[in-house]
Every structure is written in structure tokens, then in C-alpha cells.
Amino acid sequence: MIQQWFNWRTSLAFIAICIVSGTIFYSQYLAKKIAKEERQNVEAWVEAQKTILHSSDSISLNLAVKISSDNNSIPIIETNEKDSITSNYVNIDSIEVKNDKTYLSKKINEFKQHRAPIILIIKQSPYTANKYYYGESVLLKEIKYYPIVQLFIVALFIIVVIIAQRINHQSTQNQVWAGMAKETAHQLGTPVTSLQGWIEMLKEIKGNEKITPEIEKDINRLLLVSDRFGKIGSTPHLEEKNIVVQVQSMIDYIKRRAGNNIEFALNTNSENIFAKISPPLFDWVIENLLKNALDAMEGNGNIIINLEENKSQILIDIIDNGKGISKKNVSKVFKPGFTTKKRGWGLGLTLTKRIIEQYHKGKIFVKHSELGKGTTFRIILNK
């Protein structure tokens, strides 16, 4: 179990979490340190204002003016003891103040939520004082938002790495599929060609009139399978074909091999629905789906094929009332090696998905499935 969870993805995520967590803690430490220094700077600025108001010493005045003018980052607003705003404020957007009379009040309410004001007592009796509300400098805001920016960058990096790895995996998988398909077609080619020669010799011998047509059918079937694998391993040529005719021919083929207790029905809103397809590969898709439906019904049930055409798409639904697919397996049915049968490699639906999505630029998915009630596969082809 530990080995299953501990892979390169979890390692990458763990490292990213450690980096971001460390950055967050350190940035919080820096933010508190800067906030403390900024409060000290504001207190010094307030003292400078007091000196400017009351001191007559030129040296003290010059120092106070310098301290006051050096604050070019921390926003400060002055009010009296009753929180009435005076005309003294610094590092506040003057354009916003002119355009919005409530702008300073809003800023004071914002400052109040985060820190207490600094109070400068001018007289004890009658009590007179100025309050100085202040906000965060640009530097402090950047320190606070830095972890969020870094988290976004790290997350983006992880996403890019995962996408790149997935694309590389799919590319490798496609190369394996193509190589395997070409090799299969090549290996089938030689014995099938030899069998064609033998069947011609058998035709010349009297007494084989009933046997040779049946053997020839099987040879033609092997030729079709070889042709399909050959097209899987290369880019197939697409032709404009009537989908209704193609589907009906595969229904007729499967019907001859199905039991008497299986009923087939083809429903369509038009007798002529055309799309660009590779006929051998498209027939293979329909054949695979019909065979799966037969296996799911175990010799008794109904198979309904609904063909529908709209302005931009052709929708093909293959519906059976078989045993259905559990929810946990719906997402796995197109994965290589997945099968619920005692025999089989679990490659039929994988090849079906590849043919529809990569060669025909369409879509195929499980539209609906319920245990004990049946399954509906949907194919979408672009017109």
C-alpha cells in the first residue's frame, strides 16, 4: 500500500507543499517584523508632527521635517479626538479623495480593522488630541501576498510536469499500439496469403463444393482482421459513407451469430446519414460494442441502436438490457487490460475509443449504465 502511494507524483506534491509551507511561515515572520518596524516609523512620524507644531529650535525642526518627508510608503490619515478627519494625510491617492468624498472615511475604517491608531495628546484640559490611523506599505503587502504567488507558480509547475508526463506516456503508448498493430497485420499476412492459395487448389478438386465457400468466408474474415490492424498502425483514409447502411450491415452480421432470444432494433430519423469514416475501422467499433452487448445479456434480451442526426453531429446510441456496469467500473471500461470476462485481453473498448477519438475526431463514452438494467454507449461523430 505504501509503495502504491509513494510515487513521483506524491513526492513532487510533498516537496511542493514543504516549499510553500516554509515560505508561508517565513513570510509571516517577515511580515510581523516589518509591521513592527512600520509602527515605530509611524510613531516617529507622529513625534515629528508634534515637533513641527510646537518646537522653535531650528535643528529639531529640520530633523522633524526630514523624518516627516522620509515617509513615502506608509499611508497615514490624521483625525481629532472625535475621529473628525483633518486635512493632514500622506501617501493617499489625492485623485480618489477629490472624486469620492467618503474615500478617507472608508480608508480609516479599513485601517481600524487591522491596527489601533497612534494618539498624540495636545492638551489635557480641555482634552485635545490627534489620532493617526495608518495602513500597510506596498512592501508589507507584497510580503503577505508572496506565498500566494509562489503557491500559484509551484502549482502551475506541477500541472505542466504532469501534463508533459501524460503526453509523453500517451505518445509512448500510441507508438506501442501502432507497432503491435503493424506487427500483427504483418504476421497474419503470410499465412492468410498461403491459405488463399490452398483454397484455390481445393476449388479444383471435386467434392469440396460445400466446404470451400465456408473456408473462404473464414479467410476473408482473417483478411478483414488483418486489414483492420494494418489501419490501426497507420493513418486511415476517411471516406464519405452512409452511417445507416454501415450500422445495419454490422447488425446483420452479429444477428447471424446471436441466439434466437436476442432482438435487434435500429431506429433513425433519416435513412441517409453521411459522415467521413474509415469503413473497416468503423465497422470494428460497432462490432465490438454489439459483441459487448451480447456478452452482457448472456443470450437473452434486446439491443437497440438509435441513430440521430442534427446540424453538426451524428449521435449513435447502442443500448442493451444486460447486466450493466457498476459505477466504480464506468471510468475504467476504456482502459487497456480492463475486462470483466473470464477470457479476453481487455483491449476491445480501448481500440474502440482510439478509433473514434483519434482517427475520426469524435467521442465515445458510457452515457448511462445501471446494474441489472443495462448499458448505453454513445458515439458522437462530427459531420
pTM, to two decimals: 0.54
Q: How many CB atoms are located within 10 Å of the residue 76 CB?
A: 22
Taking the C-alpha atoms of residue 77 and residue 104, their distance in angstroms, rounded to an integer, is 8
pLDDT for position 79: 87
Close Cβ partners of 348 (under 8 Å, ≥ 6 residues apart): 288, 291, 292
Domain ranges of the chain: 75-135, 236-382
pLDDT for position 21: 79
pLDDT for position 261: 86
pLDDT in tens, 95-132: 888 888 888 888 888 888 888 888 888 777 788 888 88
Closest of 178, 261, 243, 246 to residue 383, by C-alpha: 243
Q: Give 172-175's long-range contacts (Cβ < 8 A, gap of 24+).
A: 173/336, 174/358
E runs forming strands in 243-362: 262-268, 274-277, 301-309, 313-320
Strand partners for 380: 315, 363
Counts for the chain of helices (H) and strands (E), in that order: 11, 11
Taking the C-alpha atoms of residue 87 and residue 79, their distance in angstroms, rounded to an integer, is 8
Strand partners for 132: 78, 118
pLDDT for position 1: 41
All cell numbers assigned to 140: 508589507
Domain at 236-382, CATH from 3.30.565.10, 3.30.413.10, 1.10.10.410, 3.40.50.1110: 3.30.565.10
E runs forming strands in the chain: 76-80, 85-90, 118-123, 128-134, 239-242, 262-268, 274-277, 301-309, 313-320, 363-370, 374-382
User: Within the chain, which residues score under 70 in pLDDT?
Assistant: 1-9, 54-56, 173-179, 181, 183, 186, 232-234, 337-347
pLDDT in tens, 11-62: 777 777 787 778 778 888 888 888 888 888 888 888 887 777 766 677 777 7
Q: How many CB atoms are located within 10 Å of the residue 292 CB?
A: 21
Taking the C-alpha atoms of residue 331 and residue 322, their distance in angstroms, rounded to an integer, is 18
H or E segment and range at residue 145: helix 138-203
pLDDT for position 4: 47
Q: Is 260 helix (H, G, I), strand (E, B) or coil?
A: coil
Close Cβ partners of 83 (under 8 Å, ≥ 6 residues apart): 108, 131
Q: How many CB atoms are located within 10 Å of the residue 51 CB?
A: 17
Taking the C-alpha atoms of residue 277 and residue 73, their distance in angstroms, rounded to an integer, is 67
